[in-house]
Structure 1
Amino acid sequence: NHAFPQSLTVDLGAPKALKRLVLKLPPAAAWATRTQTLTVSGSTDGGTYGTLKPSAGYTFDPSSGNTATVSLPGTPVRHLRLTFTGNTGWPAAQLSELEAYTS
């Protein structure tokens, strides 16, 4: 809380050529619309990460399911890292579900 940056790292188990991510927050009406700023990085070995998507703001709106989609270039990675640097709705990163797609 009140400490950016914050990150989430996922091991996909094997390299995947990711084309998009769907980020989700709870759809409860109690959550106001918010924009979170994040960078997406990837790695094949879990040690050296490269940027897959530079820092950008993603809006989560309860009226549309509180989801945000991130388009990616399809670079094969085994390890995926989201680094959050801002959130207009809470002084910390928020994410309840992450979906990764190769198409």
Structure 2
Amino acid sequence: MASSYTQSYAPGNAVDGNANTYWESANSAFPQWLHLGSAIGVRRVVLTLPPATAWATRSQTVSVQGSIDGASFGQLLGSAAYTFDPSSGSTVTLSLPAGTTTCHLRLVFTGNTGWLAGQVSELWVFGA
């Protein structure tokens, strides 16, 4: 689930196992969010963008929220800029505090230096 998506860049692309497909939110409409629902202990979230060198290095500003009921979300990791560099695989890791448990995980995007939207090619969630 996501706040929005554009063209064929739907939220399911972020978890389809194909690094060359991706989710992209509506342009010029920050904040945007990508929401996954599952009951897990979470230690880190790994995000990637397409590895193609056609994508320039960019920073995306992301925060992580969690919820037990899927309706009321609290902050798990504050907003920070993360750099996606094609020369190193366009991958970033968001480390959550030890003992973090949530049923619903939401990534909130509030900026992107390379495009006017939030973007994620692949998303992995790792437990404690």
TM bucket, shorter chain: over 0.9
Q: Which has the higher contact order (CA 8 A, sep 6+)?
A: 1
- 1:96 is aligned, of 107, 121, 126, to 121
Distance 1:42 1:95 in 2: 18
The 4+ residue runs of structure 1 with deviation greater than 4 A are none
- Any gaps of 5 or more consecutive residues in structure 1? none
TM-score of the two chains, using structure 2 as the length reference: 0.77
Distance 2:70 2:60 in 1: 25
TM-score of the two chains, using structure 1 as the length reference: 0.94
Equivalent AA in structure 1 for residue 116 of structure 2 = P
The structure richer in strand per residue is: 1
**CA-to-aligned-CA distance 1:52-102 (integer Å, 9 cap, x gap):** 100000100000000000000131101000010000000100101110001
Distance 1:96 1:62 in 2: 12
- Any gaps of 5 or more consecutive residues in structure 2? 1-26
Over the residues paired in the alignment, what is the CA RMSD in angstroms? 0.8
Q: Which residue of 1 aligns with 2:78?
A: 54
Alignment of 1:5-84 (within 5 A): 5-12=31-38, 15-73=39-97, 74-84=99-109
